[in-house]
């Protein structure tokens, strides 16, 4: 639409609005304190969130355990004039944790015609210009062969070598090799793979083949920088991990095995993730904690509570005892000083300082359990945790549960609703909350556009992996409700956080942040959350609406006096809204306005990452009573300075 026509349409539509619409902020009193931990993140291994996502490892199936029968994601490199074959080998393993290795037999090769093996990465290996990659592998060779091996990042044409290095001194015993690979001034691409080749006949065995680009804070075994930047920009105060369903596993034996995720990566066997693929566990308990540290966010640790997604449960009592011990030990790993067994283990793993921990969640969505054993399991686990760590706040996963007479400090309530459902229930959300009960953690929530395509429905798989502006409107009205009720709702987090957008990579939609090997983007919902979490006071101000479908909330920063108003216009037309700030004599005439707006179907993607982003302007002539025209389908943050 041309700008002038758009403006005329805007005015015409605005003038059609119901008379008497108003939005009033009562700045004479506070309706409670805004929880300082209100905005956080929720994370688990789903949609290739870590492997093929945040965890920066580029080699898929690096330990050859993803499939017991075949070295999936690996293929023979044998151009004309060379020959090689590969197979999984279970004899003479690197250690008892990694029982398989890859046997590479090169039967014909020369310097001009090398042969070997290639890894396709997670939907390609990202090649960035002038970048240093750390390649490492464990190798052993048949008697009489010592190398060299060439490791390289190679284009899909098989000829373009983006970076390469040599490994020599391979012997008959397992040995670790490391080589730095530097790219030149290349055009970024993910049309590349990783190769290990020989330029003469020989047989070698490979294990734990790894390739890392530079990581956030240069941490070894660290996180992808571009995704981390988006996460840090959300200003999260906590990180809920490791699930979600991922903490439970499909079966008891597939629960998050935190002990097996510690130490050197060549000692981590990985485990079956409940979302249909194997987790490398490169993203282990310490990596989660350091991730928190890097975001200056506090961990909200979910411990396994004896119920798994497929329906299995552990009977409370003697059977549950070892699991209770696991939970108590896990907390010791996080918080114990170095004189404790698990605190000492954490120090050995490289982090002597304990982590700050306030919240522990006992299980995940135990209300789905048919056998209804949560009350007894919660009682046993919470008794043990409270006896040892009385300072911790414990979160129950089951609203309304009796918990065999035990107390939950907080209850986790999940809400995946369609935008229209959120619009309906958010306006009066507070009246449905029990203010006599435990504090509330909305530990998973997200709006989807269409009630007939729920996140778990097959229909949602046909839609793009990340949401549109229509979903962001649902998110906006719900977050306004959460903020208005933040006296009792102490924490909340959108879920899922991350999705690899390649076909076949995801199990759920919508997701907040999308990426492929090369790029990352925030959805409109991401920007909605960013606008809310980065503009937040510490006092809840009561608000009233009349004759408008606009929803919103207001908070005040008690230090600066700034009043932050958040408004969501769900309509396809603009709404001119008279805004009154009661109890404030004067405002500075300039206010900051941050707007996220678009058509309901507008969205972002890897090819159009900034189609829908917030725009900041300065509004002039602001007074305690002023009218603001909210654009169609918009979320608006108004920052008012009081005088
Ligand atoms: O966020 C996706 C899944 O939804 C979580 O793993 C689970 O807790 C919920 O059912």
Token readout for 454 is 């729920």
Task: Look up the CATH architecture of domain 41-58+216-533.
Answer: Alpha-Beta Barrel (3.20)
Tens-digit pLDDT profile for residues 262-288? 999 999 999 999 999 999 999 999 999
In this predicted structure, what is the pLDDT of residue 388? 98
H-helix or E-strand spanning residue 387: helix 374-388
Residue 557 reports pLDDT greater than 80? yes
Boundaries of every domain in the chain = 4-35+537-640, 41-58+216-533, 74-212
**Contact predicate 210/172, CB 8 Å:** no
Helices marked H in 534-598: none
C-beta neighbour count of 592 within 10 angstroms = 16
Q: How far is CA 438 from the centre of its chain?
A: 26
Whole-angstrom Cα distance, residue 311 to residue 366?
A: 10
In this predicted structure, what is the pLDDT of residue 18? 57
- 316 phi/psi in degrees, rounded to 5: -60, 150
Among protein residues, the one with the nearest Cα to ligand 1's atom 7 is 244
- Nearest ligand 1 atom, CA 368: 10
In this predicted structure, what is the pLDDT of residue 19? 73
Is it true that 4-35+537-640 and 41-58+216-533 share their CATH fold? no
Between the CA of 452 and the centroid of ligand 1 the distance, in Å, is: 18
CATH annotation of 4-35+537-640: 2.60.40.1180
Burial class (CB in 10 A: 0-12, 13-18, 19+), 518: middle
Q: How far is CA 436 from the centre of its chain?
A: 32
**What homologous superfamily is domain 74-212 in, according to CATH?**
Galactose-binding domain-like (2.60.120.260)
The pTM assigned to this predicted structure is 0.96
365 ligand 1 Cβ < 6 A: yes
Whole-angstrom Cα distance, residue 366 to residue 375?
A: 10
364 ligand 1 Cβ < 6 A: yes
Which segment of 15-19, 131-135, 176-180 scores lowest on mean pLDDT?
15-19
Residue 5 reports pLDDT greater than 80? no
Between the CA of 624 and the centroid of ligand 1 the distance, in Å, is: 43
Owner of token pair 């090169």: 106
Tell me the average pLDDT across 343-348.
98
Whole-angstrom Cα distance, residue 319 to residue 332?
A: 22
For 104, how many CA atoms within 13 A lie in the half-sphere containing its CB? 33
Whole-angstrom Cα distance, residue 142 to residue 130?
A: 36
C-beta neighbour count of 426 within 10 angstroms = 23
Between the CA of 62 and the centroid of ligand 1 the distance, in Å, is: 27
Tens-digit pLDDT profile for residues 174-213? 999 999 999 999 999 999 999 999 999 999 999 999 999 9
Q: How far is CA 125 from the centre of its chain?
A: 21
Distance linking the first and last C-alpha atoms of the chain:
41
Tell me the average pLDDT across 434-441.
95
In this predicted structure, what is the pLDDT of residue 424? 98
242 ligand 1 Cβ < 6 A: no
In this predicted structure, what is the pLDDT of residue 17? 54
In this predicted structure, what is the pLDDT of residue 164? 98
Between the CA of 216 and the centroid of ligand 1 the distance, in Å, is: 27
Diameter of the chain by CA atoms?
90
Q: How far is CA 15 from the centre of its chain?
A: 43
Strand ranges in 295-352 using DSSP code E only, listed in sequence order: 298-303
Whole-angstrom Cα distance, residue 196 to residue 167?
A: 10
In this predicted structure, what is the pLDDT of residue 3? 35
């Amino acid at each position: 639409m041309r700008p002038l026509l758009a403006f005329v349409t805007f005015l015409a539509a605005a003038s059609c609005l119901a008379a008497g619409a108003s939005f009033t902020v009562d700045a004479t009193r506070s309706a409670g304190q805004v929880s300082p931990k209100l905005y956080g993140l929720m994370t688990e291994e789903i949609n290739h969130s870590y492997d093929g996502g945040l965890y920066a490892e580029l080699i898929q199936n690096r330990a050859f355990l993803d499939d017991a029968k075949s070295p999936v994601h690996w293929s023979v490199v044998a151009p004309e004039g060379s020959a090689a074959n590969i197979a999984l080998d279970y004899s003479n393993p690197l250690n008892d944790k990694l029982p398989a290795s890859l046997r590479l037999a090169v039967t014909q090769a020369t310097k001009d015609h090398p042969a070997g093996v290639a890894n396709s990465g997670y939907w390609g290996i990202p090649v960035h210009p002038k970048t240093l990659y750390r390649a490492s592998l464990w190798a052993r060779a048949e008697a009489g062969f010592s190398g060299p091996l060439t490791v390289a990042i190679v284009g899909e044409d098989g000829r373009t070598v983006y970076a390469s290095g040599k490994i020599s001194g391979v012997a008959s015993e397992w040995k670790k090799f490391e080589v730095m690979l530097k790219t030149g001034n290349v055009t970024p691409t993910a049309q590349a793979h990783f190769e290990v080749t020989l330029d003469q006949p020989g047989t070698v065995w490979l294990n734990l083949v790894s390739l890392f680009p530079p990581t956030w804070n240069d941490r070894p075994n660290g996180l992808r920088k571009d995704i981390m930047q988006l996460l840090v920009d959300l200003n999260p105060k906590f990180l809920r991990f490791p699930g979600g369903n991922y903490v439970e596993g499909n079966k008891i034996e597939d629960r998050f095995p935190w002990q097996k995720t510690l130490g050197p990566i060549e000692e981590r066997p990985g485990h079956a993730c409940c979302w249909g693929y194997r987790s490398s566990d490169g993203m282990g308990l310490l990596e989660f904690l350091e991730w928190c540290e890097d975001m200056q966010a506090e961990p909200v640790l979910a411990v396994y509570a004896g119920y798994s997604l497929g329906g299995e449960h552990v009977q409370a009592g003697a059977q549950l005892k070892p699991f209770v011990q696991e939970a108590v030990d896990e907390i010791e790993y996080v918080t114990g000083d170095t004189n404790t067994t698990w605190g000492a283990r954490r120090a050995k793993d490289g982090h002597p300082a304990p982590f700050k921990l306030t919240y522990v969640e006992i299980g995940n969505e135990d209300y789905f359990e048919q056998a209804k054993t949560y009350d007894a399991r919660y009682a046993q686990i919470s008794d043990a945790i409270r006896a040892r760590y009385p300072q911790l706040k414990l979160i129950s996963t089951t609203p309304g549960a009796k918990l065999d007479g035990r107390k939950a400090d907080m209850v986790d309530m999940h809400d995946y609703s369609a935008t229209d459902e959120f619009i309906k229930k958010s306006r009066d959300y507070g009246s449905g909350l029990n203010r006599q009960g435990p504090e509330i953690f909305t530990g998973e929530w997200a709006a989807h556009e269409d009630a007939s395509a729920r996140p778990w429905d097959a229909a949602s798989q046909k839609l793009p992996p990340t949401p549109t502006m229509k979903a962001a409107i649902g998110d906006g009205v719900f977050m306004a409700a959460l903020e208005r009720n933040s006296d009792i709702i102490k924490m909340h987090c959108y879920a899922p956080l991350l999705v690899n957008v390649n076909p076949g990579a995801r199990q759920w939609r919508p997701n907040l942040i999308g990426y492929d090997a090369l790029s990352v983007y925030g959805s409109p919902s991401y920007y909605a959350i960013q606008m809310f979490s980065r503009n937040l006071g510490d006092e809840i101000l009561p608000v009233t609406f009349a004759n408008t479908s606009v929803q919103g909330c207001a908070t005040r920063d008690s230090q600066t006096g700034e009043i932050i108003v958040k408004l969501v216009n769900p309509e396809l037309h603009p709404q001119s809204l008279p805004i009154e700030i009661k109890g404030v004599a004067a405002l500075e005439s300039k206010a900051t306005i941050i707007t996220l707006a678009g058509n309901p179907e507008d969205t972002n993607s890897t090819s159009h990452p900034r189609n829908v982003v917030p725009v900041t302007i300065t509004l002039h002539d602001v007074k305690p009573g002023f009218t603001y025209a909210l654009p169609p389908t918009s979320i608006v943050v108004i920052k008012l300075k009081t005088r």
